[in-house]
Structure 1
Amino acid sequence: MSYTIMVAVDGEPDHRAALDWAAARAARDGARLELVHVIERSWGDSADEPSHLLVLAVRSLLDAEKTIALHHAREVRARGPVPAGSTGTVAAPADTGDDIDVGTRYCYGHIGPELADVSRDADLLVIGTPAEADRRRAFAGSLAVRVAAVAECPVAAVPHGWVDGGRGVVVGVDGELQTESAVEFAAAEAEILGEPLTVACAGYVANPLLAGLVPEISLGDRRERIAAEAADRAKERHPGVTVFTDVLDTAPSRGLVAEADGARLLVIGTHDRHGMQRLMLGSVGHDILLNVRTPVVVVRRSGSGAEGAGRR
């Protein structure tokens, strides 16, 4: 069964890591790829539609990005078959024998809300996020945070300039229900790649404010149990995957970012919030997306998108 990967593009050559990541995944899984560009609407603009000339320019941009995506997908498929461990099937090739199905669309409005709105039509939304050197600017990287908080499907944030590499998949767990979907997504990804899965539970063993009141051993044991139980669930559903656990005595966001250094992918879960609370991603997810060095997938607890995109 095919699924849809949607990737936001802006035409900047330095921002094409997200497009490459999405195209490679579509080529691997036989997924449909859709490129979306948001024409930014200024706050004082009363027009309901962008100008004709602007639309023509955006269509040209999307055509150019589509050509690049097709070229990258062909390169990926030329390297060899789907990685060992894949339970999915590759879609039938197009006329060239290698092409994936690529569509394009544009939106007019404010980029965060527009991407959140089009995410209803996707099983996985991919966006670029500033590289580490660019995050010194105020609010850099906040787009990924805003979109991941309200998107209707899992969101993959790929740092600008990222180059394919690393090995293994890391998933962060904390014992909450929202991490179960994240573990399933990560385990399915590890199975497709034929690479190990690391289940990481990070946090301070003892809160300084509770020193002497809560035995440190009890907090450490709890995190070990959380990691072990998540690892057992992953092994049960994906018996061919090698699963490791790691308990980190540090701030969760810092620990997970460090654990994912050198990995191919980091997966985290987020609460299925409602109303105004949906505008908040959560402090751990927020900090991870602002300090990401490897692609990160944020998975919501409910909905079929997580399983659809993760089980290929």
Structure 2
Amino acid sequence: MTIRVGVDGSGPSRAAITWAAKRSARDHEALELVHVVDGEWGQLGEDYADDARRGANGLLADALEVARRCAPDAPITTSIRQGSTAWELAVSAEPGDLLVVGTHKTGYLSGRVLGTRSVVVASTATSSVAVIPDTPVTARRGVVVGVAEGTPWEVAVTRGAQEAAHVGNELSLVNAAPGDGGQRLLADAAALAADIHPALVIRRRVSRRRPAEALLDASRSAGLLVLGATRADTARAGYLGSTTHEVLLNLNSPVLIARA
């Protein structure tokens, strides 16, 4: 597996680089820093294209310095792609990779306007995608997993259990659905997590709030929120499901969209 992270010189991009580099060092995985040059620069002439390439090399050099501070011994490479930023980032990752992108911390008031690029990347990529907010995350603890009927919750629970066990955190399973079905589903999810890591501390919560609100509330101080992707390929590019879409536009912690 390769961890690939989008680089554009912004604060959220630096947050994503830092998060990805630390994970690269932790998991002994290769790290690739990817910058996408807007394809329209080339249409303006060779001088504009040369300026864009020089700017890209400068951004990647700065990004490499940030990554090296977090992961001095990790194998780190850089690459430049050209075209639509969100699409090129999405297709840069293979299905078994982890693609990491940053996003501005938005909140409900502005979330419908800002942060849409991360949604496009997450909905288009065939790999798992981590979306990292531009806010401190070092003091956060715990892994939260959304569990709901009609979603690949087994993939999310498996990935969440692995993440929690790896860093010694507890795992919180959250379901937001009326009736008794939520409790039964959470029991199945907890059993799966316990089979994966028997010593894991597992908590279960059923919420009567709207699903996105319940997940955002539960993950407010968490180190990671894990959701199962609702699609496995690009046949329905641009579709994530309303809950995942709303969470990504209003996230308050790192979010991992897990694909098998």
Q: TM-score, normalised by structure 2?
A: 0.92
| Alignment partner of 1:183 out of 157, 179, 182 | 157
1:37-92 CA-to-partner distances (Å, cap 9, x unmatched) read 11122399387997233212211221221011101224xxxxxxxxxxxxxxxxxx
Distance 2:230 2:126 in 1: 12
Distance 2:147 2:47 in 1: 44
**Partner SS state of residue 256, structure 1:** helix
| Alignment partner of 1:233 out of 180, 186, 192 | 192
Q: Which amino acid aligns with 2:38?
A: E
Would you say the 8 A contact 1:257–1:288 is kept in 2?
yes
Distance 1:180 1:240 in 2: 19
Shift of 1:176: 3.2
1:246-277 CA-to-partner distances (Å, cap 9, x unmatched) read 00111000000000111110000122255653
Distance 1:227 1:66 in 2: 42
Distance 1:195 1:53 in 2: 46
State the partner residue of 1:35: 33
1:180-239 CA-to-partner distances (Å, cap 9, x unmatched) read 111111000001011100111013x2xxxxxxxxxxxxx1x1101111110110101111
Would you say the 8 A contact 2:107–2:250 is kept in 1?
no
Instruction: State yes or no: 1:257 paired with 2:216.
Output: yes
**Partner SS state of residue 103, structure 1:** strand
Would you say the 8 A contact 1:171–1:268 is kept in 2?
yes
Q: Between Structure 1 and Structure 2, how many residues are aligned?
A: 260
Instruction: State yes or no: 1:8 paired with 2:34.
Output: no
Equivalences for residues 113-132 of structure 1 within 5 A? 113-120=87-94, 123-132=97-106
Shift of 1:278: 3.0
Instruction: State yes or no: 1:297 paired with 2:256.
Output: yes
Q: TM-score, normalised by structure 1?
A: 0.77
State the partner residue of 2:183: 224
Distance 2:103 2:168 in 1: 27
Instruction: State yes or no: 1:173 paired with 2:171.
Output: no
Equivalences for residues 72-221 of structure 1 within 5 A? 72-74=70-72, 99-120=73-94, 123-132=97-106, 136=110, 139-176=113-150, 178-203=152-177, 205=178, 219=179, 221=180
Q: Which amino acid aligns with 1:268?
A: L
Kindly tell me: are residues 134 and 196 of structure 1, through their superposed partners in 2, closer, same or farther at Cα, counting changes over 3 Å? Answer: closer
Distance 2:3 2:46 in 1: 28
Distance 2:249 2:111 in 1: 11
Q: Which amino acid aligns with 1:165?
A: A
State the partner residue of 1:272: 231
**Partner SS state of residue 279, structure 1:** coil
Would you say the 8 A contact 1:135–1:141 is kept in 2?
no
Larger radius of gyration: 1
- Alpha-carbon RMSD: 2.4
Instruction: State yes or no: 1:17 paired with 2:15.
Output: yes
Q: Which amino acid aligns with 1:172?
A: G
Distance 2:148 2:43 in 1: 44
Would you say the 8 A contact 2:137–2:253 is kept in 1?
no
Kindly tell me: are residues 121 and 40 of structure 1, through their superposed partners in 2, closer, same or farther at Cα, counting changes over 3 Å? Answer: farther
Q: Which moved further from structure 2: 7-16 or 57-66?
A: 7-16
State the partner residue of 1:282: 241
Query: 4+ residue stretches of structure 1 with deviation over 3 A?
Result: 42-50, 273-276
Distance 1:5 1:271 in 2: 21
Unaligned runs of 5+ in 2: none
Distance 1:192 1:58 in 2: 35
Would you say the 8 A contact 2:143–2:160 is kept in 1?
yes
Unaligned runs of 5+ in 1: 75-98, 206-218, 303-312
Shift of 1:287: 0.3
